[in-house]
Structure 1
Amino acid sequence: MPEQAAGTGTVAAGAGRVPAAERGATRIADRVVAKIAARAAREALRALPEGGSVPHATVQIRRDIARVRISLDLEYPSDLGAQCGAVRQRVVQRVRALAGMSVPEVVVQVERLHSAELRGAGQGRTR
């Protein structure tokens, strides 16, 4: 209940209130940050390779620092280094903007390369 100012019968503004910074803490779960990172990787790639799976992320968080590992499939031939660099940059930007965490490390693990040339050539080896 608000306190009254001595002898005035009016309520003192802000009396007894705890500043916002001292009320508690916000904790964002690892899986939430992992979903943000995976979505950011999809955004950076623009298109998934035909037959490829969506990027998957795992995250380790300590305080407000997130370390991210992204597993993904890429189209081949292409500039793999540029694609991985774009994924790293986008993940850092989105996690910082949406979760308020710094991301000093983004490991990009390429699981599979999908070749358009092989898909167009047939169903594998011929004798």
Structure 2
Amino acid sequence: MTAVNAETGTARPPLTVVPPGERGALRIADRVVAKIAAQAAREALAPLPAGASAPHATVVVHHDSARVRVHLELGYPGDIGARCAAVRRRVVERVDALLNLRVPEVAVQVDRLHPAPAPGAPRGRIA
């Protein structure tokens, strides 16, 4: 059935229904992905060592993939390699689950190590 324009009396082409997935584009800002990556790193490291800054991330998103760099501080002594691997896994899982973005690279940069206080060592300043 062809629709008719009421004013001109001419035929209009029928309306086509465009599937929702083809109607437009979705652009997720790099800083949004960075916040999700930083939160995922915090989840992987919980609890953070005393005095440590929360992890932060920088991200470059290109099409359907994100390259992530996570900056963090770790407690020492500890298995640094295993902690970094846990951060990588968690970041990949969360970014994929929440944003449907591939994460082919997660670079983890350890900015500082926080030594654990010795047992029985006094806390705070000694005057």
Q: TM-score range by the shorter chain?
A: 0.7 to 0.9
Displacement after TM superposition at 1:22 (Å): 2.0
Give the number of aligned pairs: 115
Question: How high is the sequence identity, in percent, across the aligned residues?
Answer: 61
Where is the helix percentage greater, Structure 1 or Structure 2?
1
Displacement after TM superposition at 1:116 (Å): 1.4
Please show how residues 1-127 of structure 1 align to structure 2 within 5 Å.
5=1, 15-117=15-117, 121=121
TM-superposition CA deviations, 1:11-69 (whole Å, max 9, x none): xxx94222222210001000000000000000001111100000000001110110000
State the distance in 1 between where 2:26 and 2:44 align. Answer: 28
Unaligned stretches of 5+ in structure 1? 8-13
Normalising by the residue count of structure 1, what TM-score does the alignment of the two structures yield?
A: 0.81
Q: Residue 11 of structure 1 aligns with which residue? A: none
Letter aligned with residue 44 of structure 1: A
Task: List, as ranges, runs of 4+ consecutive aligned residues in structure 1 with deviation greater than 3 Å.
Answer: 118-124
Normalising by the residue count of structure 2, what TM-score does the alignment of the two structures yield?
A: 0.81
- CA RMSD, Structure 1 to Structure 2 (Å): 2.3
State the distance in 1 between where 2:84 and 2:120 align. Answer: 25
